[in-house]
Structure formats: structure tokens, C-alpha cells
Structure 1
Amino acid sequence: MSHALVPNLLLFGRVLRGAGLEVHPGRMLDALTAVEYVGIRSRQDLRATLCALLVHRREDVRLFDDAFDLFWRSHDAGEGGLPLFALGERPRVVAKRVSAADVGLEIHDVTSSDDETPRLTAGAYSDSEVLRSKDFAELTDDEVRRAEALLADMGWRLGTRRTRRWRRGTRGSVDIRHIARVSLKYGGEPIELPRRQRVEKPRPIVALCDVSGSMERYSRMLLQFLCGMVRGTARAESFLFATRLTRVTWHMSQGRAQRGMSALVRTVQDWGGGTRIGESLRAFNVHWARRVMRSEPIVLIVSDGWDRGDPELVAREMARLRRRCDRLIWLNPLLGSASYEPLTRGMLAALDHVDEFLPAHNLASLEQLAVHLFAGRVFRAGIHRAV
């Protein structure tokens, strides 16, 4: 086997790993042994040999073929005409991981000595990654449709809460009552030590979203976010507000936001109007809190904080709402801007009663919120600002 072929085969294995394939070191040893017998005279034989040993999933065959064609491409005759790139070059391999998402792999410092192995630098670039970091207000119509599809596929798994009920378990505290019953068959001797555990259930969530005129640029994407959350969570309630409060849980659970906002616009009479956060929160606390705030839910308020009402009413109703929930999270699309400061009267009045103050301006921030809710973290000491 050529002295240059072994480093190239090992480098090709690294390229495949960087492109997403699972290439095990043991398989690379088998590939080196197989290539010794097959040789490199036939490009198709070499391709089939490496594919049989290094590809384990059918969906990775196309990715392997693209990487093989670009890595083992032919060069000019000055390099000997071999179907291998010469050492010292800086080739670039671009292979498609999924549709509409390219993965770029750059190979640097391929010159190797006996005591130095080639180094591979892998970098990824993707339209989906760009879309995830782009502000909702800057999306084009085509990007909005793609972002909606990504939001629809986002999995919502909330953290659990301990209920007051008990169940039998292998761990936990000793069940005294059960011990007394079981010991009767042993003449009163506690031979067995049954244990019990608290029953855990998914924590419910309540979302209140601002659809006033100042939130118009973000309304469509945030409604899609609410729709996916309600449909993906067993116990979720959603409300929209501007100058009044409207419950839209049924619309969201039926996927109405995915087919268009026309039905919601007709349902929410104050869509695109002014903002009265205090009055809307008071309506929720008076008419809906007793129904939907059982079991200490997580409350999400999605708003930019612009308010035309009384800030003292906002502070009073926020304090009332905070006492009924486990966590109160405020999502502000403007928080994604590095220069943003919460200086509006409504926002300043609400911040004293908020557990976490988080952005909601792009897909990445909503994905972080999903992970955050599942982790069940809480910052009681102050406001947690994540930009």
C-alpha cells in the first residue's frame, strides 16, 4: 500500500465523521485491510469497499457518495494522475446533510510526519442555522413559511411537579401504613419494608400573548409558537390580549394558527389595537385564574411591555398572578436587541414580579425556552436575562 494512501484514508474517515456519519475506529482498520486487497486501480471497487464498511444507514449513502466524489477527485497530470489528492493541498468538501442544509468541511495541515497526525477543521454552515438566528421582524414570506414548519416540529416537554398523591415504589420513604398491614401475616414482625413515592405529573402552562399594534411584526410567529406549545402539551391554556382578554385555547388546539390568522383576527376584536396590560391581567385574575391556575402552572407573558394603562394596576395584578403560579416568565421580543432597556412604564412595573425575563425574537430563543422549561430551572433571587 502506498505510504500516502493510509493518511488519506484516515483523513477521509475524519471527513465522514465531520459530515455526520458514524465511523468507528475498528471499521477504519477493516477498511485499510480491505483496500490492501482491492487496490485503487478501480474507482468503483474502492467506492463500494469503503461504502460497505463505513456506512451503516441507508440515508447516509448519498452523503457518502458526495463526500467520496469530492474527496477522491482527480487532479491534473502534474500530480501523477492518481485518483487521490496530493499531500499539501487544501481541498474543500461540501456534502449535504439534509435538504436545504449544506455542511462545509475544511481540511487544514494535511502534511503529516511519523509523529504527527493530520488535523481536520470542520465548520458547518446552513440556511436553517441562519434562519434560527434571524429576527422574526426581518423574515421574508418564504422564510416565514420555513420558520413556521420548524416551529411545528419543535417538541415541547415541560418539567414535572410532585403531587400530593403517593404510589408504591422501590425507592423513597418507608410506607408505615403498608408496613402495618403487611406485618400482620408475619405475626406483627416488620419483615418487609415497602416504600412509597410521590406521583409526578407534567406541570401545566398558561400563556398570555400580546397582539396589539406594537407587536404586529411578531404576532404571526408567536402565534405559531403558542399553537405548537398547546398542541404538544396536555395541559396548556392560551389567551390573547390588547385592550381586552380573549381565550383561544380551542383555536390553538385545533391548529387554526397553522392554517392562517383570519379566524383568530375575527375572534379577537381588539387585534392590532392599543395595549392595556393591567386591565387584561385583571380580567384574567378575576374570570379565569380560578379555572386554569390549579396545580401551580408556569405562566408565560409574551409582550413588549408597551402599555397605555395604569402602571400601578399592572404591578398589583402581576403580584396577584405571581402568588398563584410556580414560575412567571416574561418573553419580550425586543430583548433580542443589544441596545434594549426595559424603560416603559408597564415593563418597569411588571419586572419586580417576574422570575425570568427572556427574549422571544427568533427561533433560537424559542428553542432555548423549550429546553429551559423542560429543565425546570428557576431564578428566584433576581431577573434572569438571556439574550
Structure 2
Amino acid sequence: MAADHLAENVMHFGRVLRQAGLPLGTDRLLLALQALRQGGLSRREDFKATLAATLVDRAEHRALFEQAFHVFWRDPDLLGRVMAMLLPRAEGRASAPPPPENRRLAEALFPQAPPGAAPPPPPAEQRLDFDAALSVSERELLRRKDFETMSPAEWQAARRLLARLGPQLLERRPSRRGRPAPRGRLDWPATLRAQARQDLAPPHWRRPRERLAPLVLLADISGSMERYSRMLLHLAHGLANPQPRPARLPRIHCFVFGTRLTPIGRLLRQRDPDLALAAVSQRVADWSGGTRLAASLHAFNRDWARRVLTSDATVLLISDGLESGSEADPGCQQLALEARRLRLSCRRLLWLNPLLRFDGFEPRAAGIRALLPEVSRHLPAHNLASLEALVELLCN
């Protein structure tokens, strides 16, 4: 019976890790039970190290295991009962601590609906009436729904769609180098070499190689842009971590700005999207604060433009453009100057503005009027449909 209690709790812990995204097989859990019975129950440190050694085999999964272990085995008397091999089922207390930052882990540990979740579904009769009135599929509704009004379940579904959409944002450009091809431009050197070896040899052809053009993201993380910037950062994480992982990663450079400019490219290389965005939130001091758009563009042009921009790079500026002051104000004049410098340093500057979701939008703010003449395109970025339109624009 005692061994069954230990196995039951370890299996429960392994099930939580598996639901959070760790690739765990039954053989790993059996190995963990054997290792614990051989001497992993004497101290809490030994217990944790034994589970980590048998259940974790990748460095990027270590942080997720640490959070899960801390929350799952949080009861101080729980380990004593484990050592006595008389553990009951590991259940959370009534006064549970706040969920961890990793949302997938929080859902695996606390499957109950959070306080801010959407209300339960209506009865069957109401749901039938609603379905009869709307003939559009759920996916089409999700594509058209504003990021600001999404429920937690819709948010998770949109993140999964963004993971598929992300790699399509990488624009392929022809390079100066060529490769052999069945049709294309005549390759004279290869043709002459072949005819020198054999008379009447067929001609050889070449086509330009394709390479991924650099992409630079400048995301506004002020209070009015927080929801949209967080979703677009999930998109940037998918771009920085393509699956399957190629031999050479695309050149993606990501920056966020509120009152100051902060590079976050290295933080997004963490393969777990929740851990990556948690690291960004801890690194950025001005998250959900004010906006200094002109000063942030000036910092990028001064410190980063020559490092990350090339003549064929595409820059995505994600902001509502709400800069205080009038058109004659020095701040707005500096904004127009910095935007012009940025446009001249890249192939095209695309402005993604969530305010375009309103049908009656008019560029009345001074910051918007200063930016508009300097950008290549002014596009909406408030739902999945607008991002799909952006993909079509980049592919053409």
C-alpha cells in the first residue's frame, strides 16, 4: 500500500509535467520510482535532484521543472510523508499560492477556471439558437475577434494559430549566389567544363539562391498597447524559434519601447514561450507605462540601426503613434525626422496600428500625422485576420 501511495503521487506529478509540455514517457516515471526507492527520500534536496535527473533531459525544461516542483510539493509536511512512503494523493490546499508565471504549467496544476475566466457555456437550447443565427465557423470568428476582447480560451487558441502563422512572415529574397537548376539562366562556366569533357554535352542552368530577409520588430509596450504587444511578442517568439529548427536561424531582431528602448532578441531565444515572455517582463522596467516614441526611435537609429539593418530589411513598427504635443512641437518634429532616418535605412517600414480597427479612424493626433508620411504602409494589427493580410503583403 505504501509503495502504491508513492507511485500514485509520482505518476500524478509526471502527468502534470506532461500536460505542461515536457516529453515524459512511462519509462521515465518507472525509472524515477526505482531511483527514489534506492535512496532519494532522505532529504528534500535529494528527492528533488532524483526527480530532476530522471525526468529532465533538456536544459530548457529545467526552469519548468523547478516551478512545477515548487508548486506541486509545496506542503512542508508532504515530504515527510513521502519519506515514510505513506503519502495520500497530492491535492492543493484551499489557500493555494498564486499560479506560476508559465501559463501552461498553471493550467496543468490548476485545471479549475480562474476568477477572470469566461462564464460557463449556456444551456443546450440557447446554444442551438445561437448556432442557428450565426453560420460562420468558430475559426472565422476567432480570426475577426479583437485581441483586446478575447477570453482566456480564445487567447490560447489564437496563440496556437500564431505559431503556425509566424514562419510565413519570413520574406524570401533572391541572393547573388546561384545554385544548379533544371531551368533558369545559362551557366556558361559549368556548360563549357562539361563540353570540354564530353562533346555535345547538355547545357547547365542556374537559379539565384533564396535567403530569408532580415526582419526587425519595434513593439510599443505602453499601457494602451500592452495586450496587442504581448500577442505580437508571441508571434516574434515563433519567428525566433522556428519548428523544425533550421541549420541557420533567420535574422530576427526584436526591440520593445515605452519610455526607453530595450533589446529582447536574446530573451526570446528561450524555447518555452511563457518563460520567454516572463523573462521579457522582468527585464523591461517600463512595461505598461508611458510612451516616448521619438526618443525610442532616436535611440534605435543611433545605437542599433547600423548593427541590425541592411538595405533589404523590413521593419515592423507596432505602435498606436500617440505622441503628446502639436505638429509644431519639437518632439513631433523629432519623431518625423527619426522616422525618415529609419525608412531610409531599410527596404520598407511597415506601421502596424491597432487604432485602425475603428471604421471612423482619422489621423488627428500629432504623432500619427508626423509618422504617416514616413512609413511605407499603414496597416491594422488588432486580430488574426489583419496579421494574415500582413503575411500576404510580405509574400508579394
Question: TM-score surpassing 0.5?
Answer: yes
Q: Which runs of 5+ in 1 are unaligned?
A: 1-100, 107-122, 377-387
Q: Does the Cα contact within 8 Å between 1:203 and 1:295 map onto a contact in 2?
A: no
1:207 lines up with 2:207 in the alignment: no
Q: Does the Cα contact within 8 Å between 2:229 and 2:318 map onto a contact in 1?
A: no
Which one has the bigger helix percentage? 2
Q: Deviations over 1:113-145 (max 9, x none)?
A: xxxxxxxxxx84333332221212222334323
Q: Which residue of 1 aligns with 2:375?
A: 354
Q: Deviations over 1:238-296 (max 9, x none)?
A: 11011211111122231464347443222111212221222212222222222222362
The 1:126/1:180 distance shift into structure 2, 3 A limit, reads closer
Inter-partner Cα distance in structure 2 for 1:300 and 1:185: 52
> What secondary structure is seen at the aligned counterpart in 2 of 1:343?
coil
Inter-partner Cα distance in structure 1 for 2:277 and 2:307: 26
Q: Does the Cα contact within 8 Å between 2:322 and 2:368 map onto a contact in 1?
A: yes
Inter-partner Cα distance in structure 2 for 1:265 and 1:149: 21
Q: Which residue of 2 aligns with 1:134?
A: 145
> What secondary structure is seen at the aligned counterpart in 2 of 1:273?
coil
Q: Which residue of 2 aligns with 1:148?
A: 159
1:273 lines up with 2:284 in the alignment: no
Q: Structure 2 residue aligned with 1:173, among 181, 185, 191? A: 185
1:333 lines up with 2:344 in the alignment: no
Q: Structure 1 residue aligned with 2:363, among 328, 342, 363? A: 342
In the TM superposition, 1:260-339 aligns within 5 A as: 261-294=277-310, 296-308=312-324, 310-339=331-360
Q: Does the Cα contact within 8 Å between 1:148 and 1:224 map onto a contact in 2?
A: yes
Residue type of the alignment partner of 2:332: P
How does the TM-score come out when normalised to structure 2? 0.58
> What secondary structure is seen at the aligned counterpart in 2 of 1:304?
coil
In the TM superposition, 1:242-253 aligns within 5 A as: 242-253=258-269
In the TM superposition, 1:73-88 aligns within 5 A as: none
Q: Does the Cα contact within 8 Å between 1:180 and 1:190 map onto a contact in 2?
A: no
Residue type of the alignment partner of 1:208: L
1:194 lines up with 2:210 in the alignment: no
How does the TM-score come out when normalised to structure 1? 0.59
How far the C-alpha of 1:318 sits from its partner, in A, is 1.9
The 1:182/1:311 distance shift into structure 2, 3 A limit, reads same
Q: How many residues align?
A: 257
Residue type of the alignment partner of 2:356: L
After TM superposition, the runs of 4+ consecutive aligned structure 1 residues lying more than 6 A away are none
Inter-partner Cα distance in structure 1 for 2:272 and 2:368: 30
Q: Which residue of 2 aligns with 1:40?
A: none
Q: Deviations over 1:84-113 (max 9, x none)?
A: xxxxxxxxxxxxxxxxx99x999xxxxxxx
CA-based RMSD of the aligned residues comes to 3.0
The 1:152/1:170 distance shift into structure 2, 3 A limit, reads closer
Inter-partner Cα distance in structure 2 for 1:335 and 1:151: 20
Q: Does the Cα contact within 8 Å between 2:166 and 2:236 map onto a contact in 1?
A: no
Which one has the bigger strand percentage? 1
Inter-partner Cα distance in structure 2 for 1:284 and 1:256: 27
The 1:298/1:185 distance shift into structure 2, 3 A limit, reads same
Residue type of the alignment partner of 1:330: W
How far the C-alpha of 1:231 sits from its partner, in A, is 2.4
How far the C-alpha of 1:298 sits from its partner, in A, is 1.4
Q: Which moved more, 1:199-208 or 1:141-150?
A: 141-150
Q: Deviations over 1:160-217 (max 9, x none)?
A: 111111223332222333444444446xx88653332211112221111000122134
Q: Deviations over 1:23-55 (max 9, x none)?
A: xxxxxxxxxxxxxxxxxxxxxxxxxxxxxxxxx
Inter-partner Cα distance in structure 2 for 1:319 and 1:334: 22
The 1:193/1:156 distance shift into structure 2, 3 A limit, reads same
Identity %: 41
Inter-partner Cα distance in structure 2 for 1:156 and 1:178: 35
Q: Which residue of 2 aligns with 1:364?
A: 385
Inter-partner Cα distance in structure 2 for 1:223 and 1:371: 20
Inter-partner Cα distance in structure 2 for 1:173 and 1:127: 48
Q: Which has the higher contact order (CA 8 A, sep 6+)?
A: 2
Q: Which residue of 2 aligns with 1:225?
A: 235
In the TM superposition, 1:57-136 aligns within 5 A as: 124-136=135-147
Inter-partner Cα distance in structure 1 for 2:283 and 2:290: 17
